[in-house]
Amino acid sequence: MIKFEQVSKTYPGGFQALNQVNFHVEPGEMAFLTGHSGAGKSTLLRLIGMMERPTTGRVLINGHDLRKITRKQIPYVRRDIGMIFQDHRLLMDKTVLDNVALPLLIEGYSMQEARKRVQAALEKVGLGDKLRHYPMMLSGGEQQRVGIARAVVNKPPLLLADEPTGNLDPKLSMEIIKLFEDFNKVGVSVLIATHDLGLIARMRYRTLTLKEGRMINDGLQESEL
């Protein structure tokens, strides 16, 4: 589903964020991406979401080389990828309904049609009764779940999450990860970047570890099982 071939990323100024990274996440797989701050986790996700282009190497999604995607096509790529952020990136002056409906409206749904799907997505994350609320009125965990609802509302085959549990306590974090597991069970590929090693230790998923831009571990961390 996601394939990196010898990918390096050097930022203007000379900082090398990724160095010769190779890995392959299979369709329907769920994997964690870990490493210290600055190890290149965010850069790796940004390359998949096409917010950056690699300096060298190839990134493939579902067999399609992202180098062949033009600037104009990037929005259509992003519609296939649900992205979740640590700071959830909600629009604070819009209701939960409007926030979650945004990807659908962009694709050309009417609000009427979008509403049903928004309702379903919010039910899924346990916020079915918060349609009319503004993000400010919700707790941090709830805001993060609104972000997840927005990412899955158009049923993308691929979910990326950048530190989705960064601001949450362990119990809430576990709930969020459980949500990702639910999506994974219906066939969505999931890649979660986190430095919460305790959280990963409790799960039996493949873990990709980055250190100073290099992939130093690509598989289950047996020692931590």
Partner 1 sequence: MSLLFRSRQSGAQQVKISAVRRLLMFFVHHLQQAVASLGELVRYPLASLMTMAVLGLSLTLPATLYVVAKNTESVGAKWQSAAEITLFLRTDLSEQEVATFRKRIALSAEIEQVEWRDKAAGLAEFRESSGFGEALDALPDNPLPDVLIVTPVASKQNSASAQALLQRLLNEREVAEARLDLDWLERLQALLNLVRDGFLGLAVLLCTAVVLIVGNTIRLNINSKRDEIMVMKLVGATDAYIQRPFLYTGIWYGVVGGVIAWLATALLLWWIEGAVIEVTELYASQFYLAGLSFAEMLVVWGLAVGLGLVGSYLAVKKHVASIEPR
120 within 8 A of 197, measured Cβ to Cβ: no
Q: Residues with Cβ < 8 Å from 26, sequence gap 6 or more?
A: 1, 189
Q: Which is nearer to partner 1, 163 or 199 (CB)?
A: 163
Residue 77 CB, shortest distance to partner 1, in Å, is: 6
55 or 73: whose CB is closer to partner 1?
Answer: 73
Least distance from C-beta 71 to partner 1, angstroms? 9
Kindly tell me the number of DSSP H helices and DSSP E strands found in the chain.
Answer: 7, 10
Nearer to partner 1, 21 or 45 (CB): 45
Shortest distance, position 60 Cβ to partner 1, whole Å: 9
Nearer to partner 1, 124 or 211 (CB): 124
What is the number of other CB atoms lying within 10 angstroms of the CB of residue 79?
13
DSSP classification of residue 94:
S
| C-beta of 25 vs 200, nearer to partner 1 | 25
H or E element at residue 147: helix 140-152
Cα four-point dihedral sign 200, 22, 8, 47: negative
Closest-CA residue to 137 (of 84, 171, 94): 94
Q: How far is the CB of 222 from partner 1 (least distance, A)?
A: 33
Q: How far is the CB of 157 from partner 1 (least distance, A)?
A: 6
How far is the C-alpha of 18 from the C-alpha of 55, rounded, in Å? 9
Residues in contact with partner 1 by CB under 8 A are: 49, 51, 61-62, 64, 69, 72-73, 75-80, 83, 89-91, 102-103, 105-110, 150, 154-155, 157
Q: Residue 75 or 170: which CB sits closer to partner 1?
A: 75
Q: How many CA atoms lie within 13 A of 113 on its CB side?
A: 9
Cβ 225 to partner 1 shortest distance, Å: 33
